[in-house]
Amino acid sequence: MAEYSQTNRSDRRFRSLLESLNAGVVIHDANTQIVEFNSKALEILGLTKEQITGKTAFDPHWHFIDENHQILSVDEYPVNRVLETGKRLPATLFGICTENCTSVTWVSVSGSPIKNPDGAVEEILISFIDITKRIETQKNLRESEERFRMIFESLPKLSVQGYNKDREVIYWNKASEEIYGYSKEQALGRKLEELIIPDNLKEDVIRDVSNWMDHGLKIPSSELELKRADGTPLPVFSNHIMLETPEGERELYCIDIDLTNLKLTEEKLRENEERYRSIIAVSNTGAWEYNLENEYLWTSPEYFTMLGYSPDDFNYDFETGISVWQQLMHPEDRDSASRRFLDYLSGEMKDPYENYFRMVHRDGSTRWIWSRGQNLKNPDGSPTKIVLGTHIDITKSKNAEEELKQREAYLSSLLKTIPDLTFVLSRDGTYLDYHADESNLLLSPQQFLGKKVSDVMPQEIANLQMEAIEQAISGRKLVEFRYSIPEEDEIHHYNVRVVAFGLERVIAMITDITDSVRNLNQIKELLKKEEEQNLRLVNFTHIVSHNLRTHTANMLGLISLTEMETPEVFEHEYLRLIKESSSHLEETISHLNQVLDINLEMGENMTEIRLKPVLDAIIQNLALQAKRSGVTIRNEIPDDLHVRAVPAYLDSILLNMLTNAIKFRSDQRDSYVRIYQKITGSEVVLSFEDNGLGIDLDRHGSKLFGMYKTFHGKKDSKGLGLFISRYQVEAMGGRIEVSSKPGVGTTFHIYLPL
């Protein structure tokens, strides 16, 4: 009985011990049936006493899985592994689930064999701790770590690097590759100072990292200028974090933000600010800012300098800004300008503020100011308490505007004195004003004022008027056109002159030229009749010349025959005079025929002629004559000069100019003829300069180009060359001029079209 009592107490102690454990405990017999268990085992396994009692390891209702969620074979179950080896099973991770494994309980399982005195395994004690929450936490941590790793890898401009205690790279994200220029493979394992630290910072960086690793002296966040793989500087804002691994190793992580674009933007902002300051300084523009909350007015220095003052001339600060502004205001504008500004501030301030007023310059003169402002908006579009604005000196514009008004008044008065019909039209062809005797108007003013040309005039005339308006305004020039329009039983003709009037208006002056057109047509008819008469006269002259030349030739022939048969007859003085007169008559008729030929050939086509070869050929023909006469001819005409002329006329003119220069040379000096040219607009001027005898133009100038006019008493001079040359030049649309001085020389200037 005592022995039973002792055993019973031992069982109670064992049971009490099992229940007190925070681990599940089950005891299997040698057949793997559960023969003992505690409440914690029931809780962890989710079974009742009835369900667990007698359950074996071979029960298909449950399964063991490994950490990779792979279902284990029965032989790999903890109880079977202890039963098979007879050895203790150290703590091992297992998952326990029912048939479908929809829910898994993760446990850390240990097992021990219970042997009899013979060493055979009689029972197996299996203990296990529920670590499901810890496993899930670890899983969540791994997933979270992976998410953050993916985030770090995907951030485009956020460089994240990790370094161990020796400053060797252990982590290098994608942004680090892009920003610093090293690939991940190139960076891993290399030291921080070898990669991105400039030489001047290496010692400081090594010291700071060591102090944080060894002594916990944190590296503050700051802007740094590091370097890229290619050696170029890289501005960054660098943050630093120290982490500790489960093994107690410290790791430094640097999070760098690339500031390149920010620095460029800042530089552009500085440049823009400087540019705007320069613009304000040179444009006579003052800037201002008004704060509604505290009623402060800030102004730029130009606000005062445009009025001849310096800010130091006033006891100026933000609080006195408004009073200083009012103090500088022209007395007549002070109240109205102040009231307009206050009205704007008390309103909704949706539209820009704008006002014109006068301020008083230091020298006492008045300055017109154009003040504009705009309320500064919040990001959501709501108004702030700040109004920004400018003051612009528009005195010159105002003066010009006043001058323009006076000029318009003057022109308006002037228009009233013009007898023609005068209309003022806008650029779009609208009639704005007119000046005319209403009896001369085809329409009443009510029918055209305020209306467009196309509404009043026929379309063809309206188109001409609109083209003229645009040309006059765009080209700032006078434009003329004509039109005709039937009125009653007669067609009336009008001439229109259009000139710009201001920037967007024109004045059109309309003159009735009906009488002029009628007279012109009559003149044309008269000219036509005159041309017909001239043609008949030319034909008559040609016939007379031909007949005279025929009779003169017959007469000279008879005289020659008589002289041959009875030469003694011509010893009589009268007969000799008859013979000489007949010869002179024949010569005169020949000269008259030359002139007549020029008139008849005036319709001959002019052609473009390269001048130098023509002139060279004539000079060559005259070379022997010039040499014998001791005259040097200098041809300075360029190779590429072309003129428009009748070839035969041009040859004749050039020959006459050169032969005259040779003929009327001076024996007192070495003689020359210089031929040169000058282009004037659409004409070329050919000049023949010599140092010959010269001509007294005061005595002979009016007779110089007359027929049979000679001035030097040369026996072989007949006075016909210059007459014919002028006739030929004028027939080709040119003219001939001369400058000369006796004993010095003569220069002929021949103007021909290009």
Beta-bridged to residue 390, according to DSSP, are 287, 372
Instruction: Determine the Cα–Cα distance for residues 263 and 265; give it in Å rounded to an integer.
Output: 5
CATH number of 155-258: 3.30.450.20
Confidence check: pLDDT of 689 > 90 = yes
Q: Which residues, in sequence order, are bridge partners of residue 499?
A: 507
Partnered with residue 393 across adjacent β-strands are 369
55 has pLDDT over 80: yes
Question: d(Cα 233, Cα 24) in Å, to the nearest integer?
Answer: 64
Spatial separation of the C-alpha atoms in residues 252 and 230, rounded to whole Å: 25
Least confident of 113-127, 281-295, 319-333: 281-295
684 CB contacts (<8 Å, ≥6 apart)? 641, 643, 677, 678, 751, 752, 753, 754
Tens digit of each residue's pLDDT (9 = 90 or more) over 217-238: 999 989 999 999 999 999 999 9
Confidence of residue 150 (pLDDT cuts 50, 70, 90): low
151 — pLDDT class (breaks 50, 70, 90):
low
Question: How far apart (Å, rounded) are the C-alpha atoms in residues 636 and 160?
Answer: 84
Q: Which CATH class is domain 2-137?
A: alpha beta
d(CA 551, CA 586): 9
Q: Which residue has the higher pLDDT, 46 or 703?
A: 46
For domain 418-512, give the fold. Beta-Lactamase (3.30.450)
DSSP string, 202-228: HHHHHHHHHHHHHH--PPPPEEEEEE-
The amino acid present at 3, given as its one-letter code, is E
Closest CA to 30 of 82, 94, 73, 76: 82
How many C-beta atoms surround the C-beta of residue 601 within 10 A?
13
Direct distance between the N- and C-terminal alpha carbons of the chain, in angstroms, rounded to an integer: 157
pLDDT above 60 for 155? no
Q: Which helix (H) or strand (E) holds 63?
A: strand 62-65
Of 1-15, 27-41, 397-411, which one has max mean pLDDT?
A: 27-41
Contact criterion met (CB below 8 Å) for 614 and 641: no
Distance CA 738, CA 695 (A): 10
As a whole number, mean pLDDT of residues 610-622 equals 89
pTM across the whole model: 0.33
Q: Is the pLDDT of residue 315 over 60?
A: yes
599-753: CATH architecture: 2-Layer Sandwich (3.30)
Q: What is the dihedral of CA 243, 246, 250, 256, to 10 degrees?
A: -30
**Over the stretch 330-375, which tens digit does the pLDDT of each residue have?**
999 999 988 888 888 887 777 888 999 999 999 999 999 888 888 8
- Residue 143 reports pLDDT greater than 70: no
Q: How far is CA 555 from CA 349, 474, 517, 574, 580, in A?
A: 115, 75, 56, 15, 12
Q: Where are the beta strands (DSSP E) in 221-380?
A: 222-227, 233-244, 250-258, 285-291, 296-299, 353-360, 366-377
The percentage of the chain sitting over the pLDDT mark of 90, rounded to a whole number, equals 19
Q: Is the pLDDT of residue 663 over 50?
A: yes
Name the β-bridge partners of 735. 751
From 567, 584, 585, select the one nearest 575 (Cα to Cα): 567
User: What torsion, rounded to 10 degrees, do the Cα atoms 516, 521, 525, 528 define?
Assistant: 100
Tell me the three state secondary structure of residue 38: coil
Closest-CA residue to 622 (of 651, 590, 591, 587): 651
Report the phi/psi class of residue 630: left, alpha or beta, with left for phi > 0 and alpha for psi in -120 to 50: left
- Fold adopted by 265-400: Beta-Lactamase (3.30.450)
Burial 631-648 (b: 16+ CB within 10 A, else e): bebeeebeeebebbbbee
pLDDT at 273: 65
User: Going by C-beta distance under 8 Å and a sequence separation of 6 or more, which residues neighbour residue 636?
Assistant: 674, 675, 676, 677
Q: Are 658 and 633 in contact (CB under 8 A)?
A: yes
The answer on pLDDT for 463 being more than 70 is yes
Tell me the two tokens of residue 118: 């013979």
Q: What would the pLDDT profile of 376-402 be if each residue is shown by its tens digit?
A: 888 887 888 888 888 888 888 888 888
pLDDT of residue 1: 47
Q: Between 118 and 436, name the one with better pLDDT.
A: 118
Q: Which of 106, 100, 156, 101 is nearest to 131 (CA)?
A: 106
Distances in Å between the alpha carbon of 543 and those of 36, 243, 531, 585, 602? 164, 129, 18, 17, 19
Specify the amino acid at residue 1: M
Of 85-94, 210-219, 602-611, 644-653, the poorest mean pLDDT is in 602-611
pLDDT, residue 634, reads 92
pLDDT at 708 over 60: no
Of 577 and 250, the one with more pLDDT:
250
Taking the CA atoms of 13, 19, 20 and 22 in sequence, report the sign of the dihedral they define: positive
- Band (pLDDT 50/70/90 cuts) for residue 299 is confident
pLDDT at 754 (0 to 100): 76
More confident residue, 564 or 736: 736
Matching residue, tokens 């710009």? 500
Greatest CA separation for the chain:
216
DSSP 378: P
The Cα 90–Cα 81 span in angstroms is 11
Buried b (16+ CB within 10 A) or exposed e, 602-619: eeeebeebebbebbeebb
- DSSP code at position 72: P
For 163-205, what is each residue's pLDDT tens digit? 999 999 998 988 888 889 999 899 999 999 999 999 999 999 9
pLDDT exceeds cutoff 90 at 576: no
Q: Mention every residue, 6+ apart, whose C-beta is less than 8 A from residue 100.
A: none
pLDDT per residue over 622-638, tens digit each? 888 889 889 999 999 99
Cα separations (Å) of 175 from 159, 163, 187, 196, 240?
5, 16, 13, 14, 16
